[in-house]
Amino acid sequence: MEQISKILSHFPLLIPSIDFKLWSGSIFFKDEEIPISISTPYFPFLNGFSIMCPADKEKDIQQFCSSYKVGTGNDGLCHFLEYLQSKEEEQTRSATKLDYCLYQQILKELQELGSEHVVTCRGDLRSLMLRTIDVRGVEHRLGIGIPRDYPTGRPTVDDIDMPEVALQDLNKEETITGVFNVFQTLVNSFQDFWEAYDSLKSSTWLIDPEHPSLKDTHCRIIIGENVSMLVTLNPQDVKTCPDIKFLGPENSTIPYINSMENKLKAVGWNEDVSVVENLLSLLGLQQFPQPDFENKRAVEQGECSICFTLRLDDQTLPSKVCNNVKCNSYFHITCLAQWFQAVPTNETSFNLISGDCPCCGERILCPIKMS
């Protein structure tokens, strides 16, 4: 009776069954009241006892149950509930101490970086937005996530406005200061790349990406009627020849492809001049076409003939064209691949699928996945 009275006194929200083999109600756990049901088939002893509780608390409570030694001199439901309470309080104190050390470490590093480099930080300091200004006066931002076990756990790069290749170096760092120092180094090293990309934007009719950012390494530009060129720069080596693909009907792209291949064999890529000058020379052009109302139809004609839109949700433009000169229909690769895959008789080979053009019936070969 003494143990029953003690349980009812210390845990008044637990109600026993008439034979005291089932206790139902609620207890306070991690500063909140949670429903719980405890089966004690051999009450007052804990042999064969079991607990039912909310799923989100089950892991913690089961962990405490496994560490509790049934069969000791103090064995009993009341003693177990007191043990459960004490372990939870101990864990809370440990977490509080951990948070204090975490805050102290983060604030120390932010102070060393200087307030001019801190844009925002969440209240618990687990998410930071830092910035630096480059030699051109452009602001670059870096979002960092801080794990609870920092500095044992590494910070994560959550947001960055530079090419993805930068993550390889940033993810190697183990401290906020280390990540930010590498970030600043990368900003300086990408200056030639951003300058080359800006020259392409200002000298050409850029149709993709629609809203270029500092992350982008590719640009799709109009070079003729129904013909565009996809140029992908290497941010780590912008002086070398970029990856170049021509998009449009085969009969329209072949002259440009031949011109570029012949001149690359004859004179090669000149690393002493700009990307724009190199491309104009290889294509045999005086200048790139510029956007105007007369040329606007060149883009409109490129709408996908399956979904009848120019851009998908991810801003992808149509890049597959039917080679039938009487058709010249444009398609998003994903739209065309899905169209072909819906026909069981269409053939697949490696990462390609072939099928009939939805507009004219001409045979088309299409990648199943975008590269």
Mean pLDDT across the stretch 10-17?
A: 85
- pLDDT per residue over 138-153, tens digit each? 999 999 999 888 888 8
Token reading at 318: 């149509």
Of the chain, the percentage scoring pLDDT greater than 70 comes to: 90
- pLDDT per residue over 32-45, tens digit each? 788 888 888 888 78
9-23, 83-97, 131-145, 169-183: the lowest-pLDDT one = 83-97
Structural domains for the chain: 1-87 (3.30.457.40), 100-188 (3.10.110.10), 204-283 (3.10.110.20), 299-370 (3.30.40.10)
Check residue 198 and give its pLDDT: 95
Check residue 371 and give its pLDDT: 45
**Mean of the per-residue pLDDT values of the chain:** 85
Answer yes or no: is pLDDT of 94 > 90: no
Check residue 67 and give its pLDDT: 65
| pTM for the model | 0.62
- pLDDT per residue over 230-280, tens digit each? 999 999 999 999 999 898 888 888 899 999 999 999 999 999 999 999 999
SS (H, E, C) the chain: CHHHHHHHHHCCCEEECCCCCEEEEEEEECCEEEEEEEECCCCCCCCCCEEECCHHHHHHHHHHHHHCCCCCCCCCHHHHHHHHHHHHHHHHHHHHHHHHHHHHHHHHHHHHHCHHHEEEECCCCCEEEEEEECCCCCEEEEEEECCCCCCCCCCEEEEECCCHHHHHHHCCCCCHHHHHHHHHHHHHHCHHHHHHHHHHHHHCCEEECCCCCCCCCEEEEEEECCEEEEEECCCCCCCCCCEEEEECCHHHHHHHHHHHHHHHHHCCCCCCCCHHHHHHHHHCCCCCCCCCCCCHHHHHCCCECCCCCCCCCCCCCCCEECCCCCCCCEECHHHHHHHHHCCCCCCEECCEEEEECCCCCCEEEEECCCC
The C-alpha angle 255, 257, 262, rounded to 5 degrees, equals 95
